[in-house]
Structure 1
Amino acid sequence: MEIDIVTKKDLQQFKQEILEEMRSILANKKVEAKDRQWLRSAEVREVLCISPGTLQNLRINSTLPYQKIGGTMYYRTEDIDSMMEGRADHG
């Protein structure tokens, strides 16, 4: 019978590896979303790192155009990019 001892350092290294893998997965997910022409609200919030309330304000203020189909709102990636470029020019 073989006994392995796991140290605190081993656990910290494992934690770091898991965090790096999760960051990589999330970054790839954002890239995949940006490659599509239309995104749902949750995807837009994730890509822009904004809250549901902020996205609602962007809709209300007509800052970010959207299309509602059934109960789902869709946003064009082109409109998101235009909004961000416009904000960068004024910021």
Structure 2
Amino acid sequence: MATIEFITKEDLDQFKQELFSELRRPGQRLHKISEQKEWLKSYEVRKLLSISPGTLQGLRDTGKLKFNKVGGLMFYKYDDVIALVEGKKIIPKP
């Protein structure tokens, strides 16, 4: 005979806390490298870095974050965004 296990509200709260603590760890990436897109749109970069549109504009203006403009959209290489977060200097290509 199979036993029935109930999930309580406390169980769900504990699971939520454990999940959030894992996601908040420094350097934690939500995607595996093979699943990560090579190019990100502006809104994706802002969400990833938790920054405002003005801050992103400042990173572009100062050359701290390289970008490519296609039509009216700005695209950023994922590797460049990670390098910025990790504090690595990005050397622009001539």
Query: TM (normalized to structure 1)?
Result: 0.59
Please tell me whether residue 65 in structure 1 is matched to residue 80 in structure 2: no
Alignment RMSD (CA, Å): 3.0
Alignment of 1:17-56 (within 5 A): 31-32=30-31, 35-56=36-57
Q: Shift of residue 31 of structure 1? A: 2.7
- Measure the CA separation in 1 of the matches of 2:86 and 2:51: 17
Unaligned runs of 5+ in 2: 1-8, 24-28, 89-94
In structure 2, what is the Cα distance between the partners aligned to 1:51 and 1:86? 19
- In structure 2, distance between residues paired with 1:84 and 1:73: 19
Q: Using the aligned pairs only, state the percent identity.
A: 39
Cα distance in 2 for residues equivalent to 1:42 and 1:84:
16
Partner of 1:8: none
Corresponding residue pairs, total: 68
Q: Deviations over 1:30-83 (max 9, x none)?
A: 835x81110000000000000000000000000000000000000001101111
SS of 2:75's equivalent? strand
Question: 2 CA distance for matches of 1:59 and 1:86?
Answer: 16
User: Normalized per residue, which structure has more helix?
Assistant: 1
SS at match of 2:64: coil
Corresponding residue SS for 2:87: helix
Partners of 1:45 and 1:82 lie apart in 2 by 15
What residue in structure 1 maps to residue 75 of structure 2?
74
Runs of 4 or more off by more than 3 Å in structure 1? none
